[in-house]
Chains A and B, each alone.
Chain A
Amino acid sequence: MGLDSIFQWLYETPLGTAIRENGVLFPWIESTHVLCITTVVGSIAIVDLRLIGLVWKRRRVSVVISEVLPVTWIAFVFAATTGFLLFSSNAVKYSHNHFFQAKMSLLVVAFINMLIFHGIHHRNIAQWDDAPKPPTPIRLAGGVSILVWIAVIASARWIGFTMSAF
């Protein structure tokens, strides 16, 4: 069966074809994708910098999280949707692009890091909510998150440079 045949099918769908062949559809979807990614990364950076204890130190971590993460999640849903649409327009080629593969891997790492944070550290947030500098494991989670998301942006930009025009 293979992933290639699934991606080829995706490539040939009316939607994938329309995005690929329409002169303005791809740019508009891509611009929206960029807007969403910058919102996801920027908003996560705010939370991460609070977790590391560098900014907003007098504000409770839980308050920062409750205000910022809804923005992050909404932006992520649109980022993933537009990303899927872009992917479908040239699925096989994207799937073979090393920077695309790196980007997807980094998203998995970011997701796992988030799960670890929410599953373990967030449980006892009451103990360090008010701390200007949270405990080291939490600061580490914030630091890893920022680095991973910066790498996501860099790998995403390099996809554009390494995909030959179709």
Chain B
Amino acid sequence: MLAPEQILHAAMILSVESEEGINEGLISQVQETLECDSEDYEAAMSHIENHRDGGDWGGRRDAVLHRSRERVREAIENDTLPSSGSLSDELNDLVGEQTDHEEIDPFAELGVVSGGGGSSFGANTADSDDPLSVFMDDDDEEEADLVDGDGFLASDSSLNLDGEVVEDDVEQPEAEAQVAEEEIVEEEAAEEAEEDEQPATTPNAAYEMLMSTCWIDGILDPAEAKLLARKREELGITFEQHLEMLQSMLERSS
């Protein structure tokens, strides 16, 4: 459950970053609804002024806005903020105004596999938790074959312009076919080698990323501290290592 100050802070960030700039009337209504006093408002505003960085938020604008939207949405969903009426409409406009460019999957960001399947990203195994994923990925592959980089129907697509599958009935000379086959094998080998060269995200890197996300607003709260503790246990990271990582993260950011 979010604290009222956190919700107010999130709403203020969204309002400050909206095209029209901060809407004092709206924020005042939010403040009243949340029963936050002027000190809360001033503390939040001072925090925003200190960290806004001209709207860049230290290069993390998208993440900050995403998190703020999530907080306001959560507050509306659990009725901390009204889910109907004019205030609700204005808040929904605010949340909807700056829609996410794409959904951020924190587990994907961290390179940590979510779900119990234990398969790596992109793996399309039949024993995956989501039985539909097999079909969904097939569709993606087919689409990738059909559409070129510009989003147009690819010239070598097996579909004709009516969308019907066309069998290629022109016979290739045997030697040409063999060369083409060899090229495909070489390409596959190169792709595999490339994949091998990219190391999987290490637990330390995953933890560091999670930690920097928790510190994104410059404040750590008990829930975030608990989350980090759980992750340390899960990834086998000691508290001493945590302190070292925190220190190097702060050094990099300063």
Say whether A and B bind each other.
no
- B residues with a Cβ closer than 8 A to A are none
